[in-house]
Amino acid sequence: MSRWAVVLAGGIGSRFWPLSTPSRPKQLLPLVTGKPLLVDAMDRLAPIVDPAHTLVLTNASLVKPIRALLPPIPRENIIAEPRPAGTAAALTWAALTIERRDGKDATMMSIHADWAIGDDAEFRSVLLEGEKVARKMHTLVTVGVVPTRADQGFGYIQPSEPNKDGASSVKRFVEKPDRERAEKLRQEGYLWNSGIFVWTVGDFLAQVKQHARELKRALALPPDGEASEFFNRIDDPISIDSSVLERSKNVTVLPGKFGWDDIGTWDALGRVRDKDEFGNVTSGDVHLLDGCDNVVHTDSGRVVIYGVDNLVVVVHDGLTLVTTREKAADLKRLIQSLPAQEKGDA
């Protein structure tokens, strides 16, 4: 049995502005531990997947810094996406690459580079269990994280009754709900749609060819086609969820409980990093009094905070951002409103 990992490490992480920039996006930043998120992800996979069998898909501009960050990964395994085309395109190209190198029976585990995981060993255990299910049932396995809160930032999965392996066929996917509905879904046993996938390359590509009509022109390329040709034949970005998983009847969900969180905004750091007794998360030279549940980061100067709650304060390279933890999810709108010079940096 041959096992591969695919790590999606594209994007610029605009919600971590001003620390994150196109040349140094969030996946290259040490936001959860002392290591960049991408390095954490690779370390997490290393006990079960050889670096030579690990593909990293990223922006063309990030190939060089990622090569420097991940010396064990062969250069040809760092794949530059010529333009953003969505997770359907990225995962399909990765599967085609693995098929060319190792055949259609190879297993493919797919993760994102910008997650926090509380229990790495349990995370790996669930991936390996997903591999068993995928090979035994010839199904597309997605890991549904058991929710710890009603989060409206995530999609949800409705499972059916589990089989003896603990896996369930997927009844339906639900897009990001409002908070009231998210709480209802959580109480009804829905799982978070984590974006963790396990399948054999042959089973996955068969489902792509059957359901992902948006990729039809790209799939018509000859086997020796280039990545640039493949991505340029896709008109609009499309997710793997909407193009394949939501259309297929052959999707299985495996529950996971290993402290998963998506590091999508500054607010997320308040959930995954160590807190003081009042729930504050700080990094750098910070003095805080009579405040709770604040997220404060400074790498250029001292920050003093007094008598405020639920704020995000970021000081970086002469610029200070102040917002609420709730509004931190909407930094794209802020960036669009900035003067031209600052917008260029963002």
* Residue type, position 262, single letter: D
Q: For residues 15 and 329, is the Cβ–Cβ distance under 8 A?
A: yes
What's the confidence (pLDDT) of residue 317?
Answer: 87
What's the confidence (pLDDT) of residue 338?
Answer: 86
- Residue 270 reports pLDDT greater than 80: yes
The conformation of residue 94, written as its DSSP 8-state character, comes to: H
- Residue 280 reports pLDDT greater than 90: yes
Secondary structure of residue 298 in the 3-state scheme: strand
- Phi-psi category of residue 144: left, alpha or beta, with phi > 0 → left and psi -120 to 50 → alpha: beta
What's the confidence (pLDDT) of residue 84?
Answer: 85
What's the confidence (pLDDT) of residue 342?
Answer: 67
- Residue 239 reports pLDDT greater than 80: yes
* Residue matched to tokens 């493919």: 108
Could you give the CA distance from residue 99 to residue 4 in angstroms, rounded to a whole number?
11
Contacts of 8 (CB under 8 A, 6+ apart): 57, 87, 90, 91, 110, 111, 112, 113
- Phi-psi category of residue 293: left, alpha or beta, with phi > 0 → left and psi -120 to 50 → alpha: left
Question: What pairing do the DSSP bridges indicate for beta strands 107-112 and 191-200?
Answer: antiparallel
What's the confidence (pLDDT) of residue 343?
Answer: 59
Would you tell me how many other CB atoms lie within 10 Å of the CB of residue 310? 17
Q: For residues 325 and 308, is the Cβ–Cβ distance under 8 A?
A: no
Which burial class, exposed, middle or buried, applies to 227 when counting CB atoms under 10 A from its CB (0-12, 13-18, 19+)?
Answer: middle
What's the confidence (pLDDT) of residue 23?
Answer: 86
Mean pLDDT for 180-206 is 96
- Residue 70 reports pLDDT greater than 90: yes
Q: What HEC string does 132-198 produce?
A: HHHHHHCCEEEEEECCCCCCCCCCEEEECCCCCCCCEEEEEEECCCCHHHHHHHHHCCCEEEEEEEE
Dihedrals phi, psi of 233, to nearest 5 degrees: -90, 5
Which tokens is 262 given? 């998506």
* Residue matched to tokens 């620390």: 19
Enumerate helices (H) and strands (E) in the chain, giving the number of each. 12, 17
Could you give the CA distance from residue 229 to residue 89 in angstroms, rounded to a whole number?
12
- Residue 306 reports pLDDT greater than 80: yes
- Residue 291 reports pLDDT greater than 90: yes
What is the model's pTM?
A: 0.92
The conformation of residue 338, written as its DSSP 8-state character, comes to: S
Rg (CA), the chain: 21
What the chain holds in terms of domains, given with CATH numbers, is 3-262 (3.90.550.10), 266-345 (no CATH)
Could you give the CA distance from residue 5 to residue 74 in angstroms, rounded to a whole number?
13
Instruction: Give 331-336's long-range contacts (Cβ < 8 A, gap of 24+).
Output: 331/14, 331/15, 331/16, 331/17, 331/265, 332/14, 332/15, 334/17, 335/14, 335/17
Mean pLDDT for 91-97 is 97
Task: Tell me the pLDDT tens digit for each residue of 309-327.
Answer: 999 999 998 899 999 999 9
Secondary structure of residue 265 in the 3-state scheme: coil
* Residue matched to tokens 């209802």: 184
Could you give the CA distance from residue 160 to residue 153 in angstroms, rounded to a whole number?
23
**DSSP calls for 182-241:** HHHHHHTT-EEEEEEEEEEHHHHHHHHHHH-GGGHHHHTS-TT--HHHHHHT--S---HI
Task: Tell me the pLDDT tens digit for each residue of 140-159.
Answer: 999 999 999 999 889 999 99
